[in-house]
Amino acid sequence: MGKLRYILMFGVFGFGLALGLGITTADLLAQESHRWVAVVGKLVLLSVLAGWFQGARTWSESFRDPVPFPPNYPPLK
């Protein structure tokens, strides 16, 4: 899996969307937002920014072990 695909999948659509939905839902329940366009804009902005940073940070943590060369394949039966 490439770095961009990992960041989009686990960062933006995972952590970022969850954070954005949580914050915008809290704003809607508190009735601090007056227009749905502003709520959708905040959701998109939070999802992309927070998700991008979280995904980039976890990418470097997830793939630290070097790949052995040549790969250690299990023996054939």
Calculate the dihedral angle through the C-alpha atoms of 33, 36, 42, 48, rounding to the nearest 10 degrees: 160
54 or 61: which carries more pLDDT confidence?
A: 54
| Residue 58: predicted pLDDT | 86
Full 3-state SS string of 10-68: HHHHHHHHHHHHHHHHHHHHHCCCCCHHHHHHHHHHHHHHHHHHHHHHHHHHHCCCCCC
The pTM (predicted TM-score) of the whole model is 0.69
Tell me if 20 sits within 8 A of 46, measured CB to CB.
Answer: yes
Q: What is the pLDDT of residues 5-46, one digit of tens each?
A: 888 888 899 999 999 999 888 888 888 666 888 888 989 999
| Residue 2: predicted pLDDT | 80
